[in-house]
Amino acid sequence: MSGRIDETASFQALRIALLTVSDSRDRTSDRSGDTLEERVRAAGHELVARTLVRDDSQEIAAQFRAWIADPGVEVIISTGGTGVTGRDVTPEALADVVEKDIPGFGEMFRMISYNKIGTSALQSRACAGVANGTYLFCLPGSPGACRDGWDEILRWQLDIRHRPCNFAELLPRLRER
**Domains, the chain, ranges and CATH?**
14-172 (3.40.980.10)
Residue 122, H or E segment: none
pLDDT bracket for residue 177 (50, 70, 90): confident
The angle that helices 57-69 and 90-97 make with each other, rounded to 10 degrees, is 40
Neighbours of 89 (CB within 10 A): 24
CA–CA distance, 23 with 146 (Å, rounded to integer)? 18
CA–CA distance, 101 with 150 (Å, rounded to integer)? 19
User: What pLDDT, in 10s, does the model give residues 102-136?
Assistant: 999 999 999 999 999 999 999 999 999 999 999 99
CA–CA distance, 100 with 107 (Å, rounded to integer)? 16
| Residue 98 predicted with pLDDT over 60 | yes
Give which of 53, 35, 51 is closest to 43, Cα–Cα: 35
Q: Are 51 and 79 in contact (CB under 8 A)?
A: no
Global pTM value: 0.96
β-strands 100-101, 15-21 pairing:
unpaired
Q: Tell me the sheet residues that pair with 66.
A: none
What pLDDT does residue 2 have?
Answer: 59
3-state helix, strand, coil in the chain (%, to 5): 45, 20, 35
Give the mean pLDDT of the chain: 95
Give which of 75, 48, 74, 51 is closest to 62, Cα–Cα: 51
Give which of 159, 139, 151 is closest to 18, Cα–Cα: 139
